[in-house]
Structure 1
Amino acid sequence: MLITAKELRHDTRHFFHKQIATIFFISIFITFISMFIDMFIKPDMHIIFIIENNNFINAESLLELIHNMNLEEKAQLLKYSIFKIIELLINKTLLLGSMITLISNLSKDKKEPILKVLHSLFLFLPSLFILNFMIAFIIQLGFMLLVIPGIVLTIILSLTPIIFYFKKNSLIDSIRLSMHISWKNIKIIASGVLLWMFGKFILITLLSSIYLSNKNIVFLISNISTNILYSILIIYLFRFYMIFSNT
């Protein structure tokens, strides 16, 4: 069966419209979890001032800023950075796990009870968190070299969580299989991933230009919007893999 990006976009749009309420609920729920975590990882006011009032044009400007910090400021910044990375990974893991479990359950002829679905989700999350950490590390290495390798790695690793869920392979095997399948279908996968990246960039740019005295509102809107956008990408990739597996 021939897989086309047009067909996948149609299927994605159809599924999103049917499950829009559930997707909104998941996105909002995970956003509140992120806000709850963010409350406990706030650095001191001096570090917040440095982060919010410095535009890092490149890595050199960031390294220069760190070089000019004292040891206590460096320790605070490192601590905040580690916790922020963990928060982002938790957010992505919960969203990925929830969406994959939701789509998988709805795709079955016989729907499973909600308790069984939640049980399978919680069993899946720890391994998915480790997988997301590995993927994020590999992609960041690509972006550190040049922008293009980072984008390519984002595209060819995008199927990894879905393959890991279905195939029950090891983490490394799932990554290898994702690279193989995505590279063979690079045009279809890239069209979805690049559209998501472009949409996320536009969304963040628009939200950053809006001035609101309460930054929690901006954080709330930004997270919910990006979660919904990423959910659409998950639906697109999930549908691709379902069709690919049946060919």
Structure 2
Amino acid sequence: MPMTVSELRHDTNCFFSKQIGSIFFISISITFISILVNMLIKPDMHIISIIENNKFMNFNSLLELINNMNLDEKHELLKYSIFKIVELLMSKTLLLGSMIALISHLSNNKKKSIIYSISSLFASLPSLFILNCMVTFITQLGFILFIIPGILLSILLSLAPIILSFKQYSFIDSIRLSINISWKNIKIIGPGVLFWISGKFILTAILSNIYFINHNVTFLVLNISTNILFSVLVIYLFRFYMIFLRS
């Protein structure tokens, strides 16, 4: 019997409802880790104020903003940008690894101890981080070229971290296999990835335009919400790949 989107959605909803406490704990914990990292490694406040006061919405205004900076400000902006990219990749990797460890632990009917699952999580984080860097770089190139290629690449590469977590393939093989499987099952994987992209966009648009709530509270709610949304996507993709392997 072939897989269907409704079947995967039902399985995802069941898992989410049963593990909602663990998922919320993971999402909130990673959000606070991100906040702590931002507090410990604080970039130049002058650069942050320049970025926040120049709410550029297109490429031309970004170039104009950079051109109006002096050499020291450009250097600080570069350091700040690199820091934010690495911090976001680390947060995504930790969330992804935590969700994969949780699902794997429960899928094995808890035959392996929670200590083993945690140690496996930390052992897999470097590999997941490298793969996330590769996937993010490729998908961002797609978004720079045009929105549609970026969305398509996001769908085609979405399974790569799940495939890598089974420790049977290398980085390149995981990416290649993800593209192959996702292309053949794009009608099943596509809705899950599109749900994640549209959900993140809607949440960001809504919370960014709420001015009567403190900025820090908005940042906290937005990060926790997007982490939960991404967790739902990981559950959906992991369930798909498990059924795919059995078929």
TM-score by length of 2: 0.97
C-alpha contact (below 8 Å) 1:212/1:218 kept by paired residues = no
Residue by residue over 1:125-164, the C-alpha shift from the partner in whole angstroms, topping out at 9 and shown as x without a partner, is 0110000001011111111111111110001000000001
Q: Distance in 2 between the 1:77 and 1:141 partners?
A: 21
Is 2:11–2:239's contact at 8 Å kept on the other side of the alignment?
A: yes
**C-alpha distance in structure 1 between counterparts of 2:173 and 2:74, whole Å:** 38
Please report how far the alpha carbon of residue 112 of structure 1 lies from its aligned counterpart in structure 2 after TM superposition: 1.4
In the alignment, structure 1 segments of 5+ residues that lack a partner are: none
Q: Higher relative CO (CA 8 A, sep ≥ 6), structure 1 or 2?
A: 1
Residue in 1 that maps onto 2:216? 216
Q: What is the CA deviation profile of residues 221-240 of structure 1, one whole-angstrom value per residue up to 9, with x for unaligned ones? A: 11111000100000000111
The corresponding residue for 2:89 is 89
Structure 1 CA distance for aligned equivalents of residues 213 and 47 of structure 2? 20
Partner of 1:147: 147
- State the 4+ residue runs in structure 1 displaced beyond 6 angstroms: none
Q: 1-side partners of 2:154 and 2:213: how far apart? A: 35
Shift in alpha-carbon separation, 1:71–1:213, aligned structure 2, 3 A? farther
Structure-2 separation of matches of 1:154 and 1:176: 13
Matched position secondary structure for 1:7: helix
How many Å apart are 1:181 and its aligned residue? 0.2
| Aligned counterparts of 2:82 and 2:212: Cα–Cα separation in 1 | 27
Size of the aligned set, in residue pairs, is 247
What fraction of aligned residue pairs are identical, expressed as a percent? 68
**Separation of aligned partners in 2, 1:198 and 1:146:** 16
> 1:109 is matched by which residue type in structure 2?
N
Separation of aligned partners in 2, 1:25 and 1:45:
31
Distance 1:5 1:133 in 2: 29
The separation in 1 between residues aligned to 2:43 and 2:37, in whole angstroms, is 13
**Residue 67 of structure 2: aligned partner:** 67
Q: Which runs of 5+ in 2 are unaligned?
A: none
Name the residue aligned to 1:40: 40
